[in-house]
Amino acid sequence: KETKDSGTKLVFRELSSGYEQVVPFVKDFLLAKEGPNILLTSTGDDDKLSEGVYLFDCSSKELKPMYRAKGEYKQLSFDEKGTQAALLANFDTTKAQVPPFVMLYWSAGRDSATEVADNAAPYLPKDWLVSQYARPNFSKDGSKLFFGIAPPPILQDTNLLDDEIVNVEVWALTDGRLHTNQKTILEREKRRSYDVVWHISQNSFVPLASKDMPDLSYGNENNANVALGS
């Protein structure tokens, strides 16, 4: 059945001709800004459509598989023309507390997407991960792809009973932020990521942000070769 977890029907209709195509159990989709491509993820119907990521070409009216595997797919992204795509995927079946997401990349002319970043990447600080909360973002000219990494989250001991868990608030005059403000931004801080840029043609990854300089601004719609950090 169609549910929040399994997805719903996605209907493509060409208004001028009445042509219609339905893709079942779609969980997420994204339209290219200036191209005729639509990126979508489906949990599949175990019959004609396997679980995975697909590209619908509006020009040819073809649904093309981009990556077929059971997993969780999120944070879909296109470049300006819809000729490159990136997204995050988790193929872990153990239901780990910290899901090991990888970044998939596709470009026009390729048969399928490939994994280009995972948690074993050499540029990652020790124990850091590809962040599941940061959407990959292409520069306008398509030459660079920005994505996020993050330190491992602090996990609660799942072996403790509710009455064994002590909640303590510690206030200190030396804190950089007021405690009330810390509580307000807690969830945002839990999802904070730090930018890495991938120079696609050179296959070069450069970490940009860090805990000492978490915030970056980019010029010329991310085309610029410099960034302003704070």
pLDDT the model gives residue 122? 95
Give the angle 103-117-56 at the CA atoms, nearest 5°: 30
Please write down the HEC assignment for all residues of the chain: CCECCCEEEEEEECCCCCCEEEEEEEEEEEECCCCCEEEEEECCCCCCCCCEEEEEECCCCEEEEEEECCCEEEEEEECCCCCEEEEEEECCCCCCCCCCCEEEEEECCCCCCEEEECCCCCCCCCCCEECCCCCCEECCCCCEEEEEEECCCCCCCCCCCHHHCCCCCCCCCCCCCCHHHHHHCHHHHHCCCEEEEEECCCCEEEECCCCCCCCEEECCCCCCCCEEEC
Express each pLDDT in 19-40 by its tens digit: 999 999 999 999 999 999 999 9
Q: What is the mean pLDDT of residues 200-209?
A: 96
Give the angle 127-131-136 at the CA atoms, nearest 5°: 140
Express each pLDDT in 146-164 by its tens digit: 999 999 988 877 777 878 8
Express each pLDDT in 137-147 by its tens digit: 999 999 999 99
Q: What is the mean pLDDT of residues 182-197?
A: 91
Instruction: Inform me whether the pLDDT recorded for 46 exceeds 80.
Output: no
Express each pLDDT in 76-119 by its tens digit: 999 999 999 999 999 998 888 899 999 999 999 999 999 999 99
pLDDT the model gives residue 96? 85
**Mean pLDDT score of the chain:** 93
> pTM of this prediction?
0.90
pLDDT confidence tier of residue 168, bands split at 50, 70 and 90: confident
